[in-house]
Structure 1
């Protein structure tokens, strides 16, 4: 893992993805970056927060459907059943890799926000007829547009189109949005720190997604439900 990088440094010189899944995410994002993004500012994403929030919360019905023992988390076997029912064709090794990547607490139980991140990664990685079929089986027509918005937002941030977002790229994106405001640098650094979970100076699409679920308050759902159970 790389250290925190100074301004102007290139974090990907000789950069080696930590896992096969990360390598696939980076390759998929590089392909998408080559197509460009319709997003012109970070504010565009912020303005979409309410609509994205509503769309992602509607995934709760899918989550509950595949949480077969209703314990508030999806385990590896339940995830395999989920993929089978949605007819998403992944090798068992790929399913396990996805589960481990999104089970951030490493407790063998995927919470709702982790499940959302997984669905978005599936969207990014499986842009083929099989995935399109799976999307229609989920019965959430807005979900594809929501995931596409999130992919587009990451592409907008990834100025050099290498599949990662660096600190300097985040500063650049925020400066474009808040030109002339002295606080823009602090805002950019705060946003970047919220995304860079492993503190290695670069942000993957997965890290961006986890930060996004916090920004719109998806994590709050989990905390509220845990509180209700303890009453």
Structure 2
């Protein structure tokens, strides 16, 4: 399928682009060809609270699969989780996913990493059986949320290549906020928060991680310790 595009653009990018990430980019291109229902970047920002709320509901699922309750899901727990959700991934795919989302490389899925993982699963599997499994677990709103995130990414990805570039991000933000001088700066800040490997391109995974930070998912753990804050 010619998935070599953009492989060698940056030395770091070439290492991180696993089979999984290539699949992810291809899935995004397919989605991009259908277009996005988002009309503006503000559209996306307005959805933050709703997205935040529905992602927090995953906490129960996360805790259910974090069998030793250490705040992280290890590879074995993840395999059992997939089995229970009836997500038919091969061992290799699960390992790939785990590696892709285990940002701290501490062999444990933190809550925000788990959310990113579920969202990638949603993107990569158009498998009706998996959908039933998810709704059995009472996760139908989650799908709507993942759909919103996919849609947001597609909205930003103007040239439909499966990546969001810095100029696309500026373009998306300037479309909305004409005349607000600060919007370009905000765009840059948002973009820098997304572009971890600093290669000027953001894939869906990087986008999702930034997103969990923007809506504050990754500090859920801290809150529980300091109710009085």
SS in 2 for 1:52: helix
Unaligned runs of 5+ residues in structure 1 are 1-10
Residue of structure 2 equivalent to 1:167: 166
Give 1:143 shift.
Answer: 0.6
Give 1:130 shift.
Answer: 2.5
Paired residues of 2:33 and 2:160 also in contact (CA < 8 A): yes
SS in 1 for 2:112: helix
2:145 & 2:42 partners in 1: Cα distance?
Answer: 16
1:93 & 1:126 partners in 2: Cα distance?
Answer: 15
2:20 & 2:61 partners in 1: Cα distance?
Answer: 24
Paired residues of 2:73 and 2:109 also in contact (CA < 8 A): yes
Q: Mapping of 1:13-162 within 5 angstroms? A: 15=9, 18-162=17-161
How large is the Cα RMSD of the aligned pairs?
1.5
SS in 2 for 1:130: helix
The 1:23–1:13 alpha-carbon spacing in structure 2 relative to 1, beyond 3 Å, is: closer
Residue of structure 2 equivalent to 1:6: none
2:80 & 2:7 partners in 1: Cα distance?
Answer: 40
SS in 2 for 1:209: helix
2:133 & 2:198 partners in 1: Cα distance?
Answer: 35
TM-score under structure 1 length normalisation: 0.90
Q: Which runs of structure 1 show a deviation greater than 4 angstroms over 4 or more consecutive aligned residues?
A: 13-17
Paired residues of 2:194 and 2:206 also in contact (CA < 8 A): yes
Give 1:129 shift.
Answer: 0.9
SS in 2 for 1:63: helix
Residue of structure 1 equivalent to 2:223: 224
1:24 & 1:130 partners in 2: Cα distance?
Answer: 20
Paired residues of 2:51 and 2:145 also in contact (CA < 8 A): yes
Give 1:223 shift.
Answer: 2.4
1:198 & 1:224 partners in 2: Cα distance?
Answer: 29
The 1:133–1:167 alpha-carbon spacing in structure 2 relative to 1, beyond 3 Å, is: same
Unaligned runs of 5+ residues in structure 2 are none
The 1:177–1:13 alpha-carbon spacing in structure 2 relative to 1, beyond 3 Å, is: farther
2:140 & 2:165 partners in 1: Cα distance?
Answer: 33
TM-score under structure 2 length normalisation: 0.91
Give 1:12 shift.
Answer: 3.8
| 1:152-189 deviation line (CA, Å, top 9, x unaligned) | 00000000000000000000000011111111211111
1:138 & 1:205 partners in 2: Cα distance?
Answer: 25
Give 1:13 shift.
Answer: 8.5
1:36 & 1:131 partners in 2: Cα distance?
Answer: 24
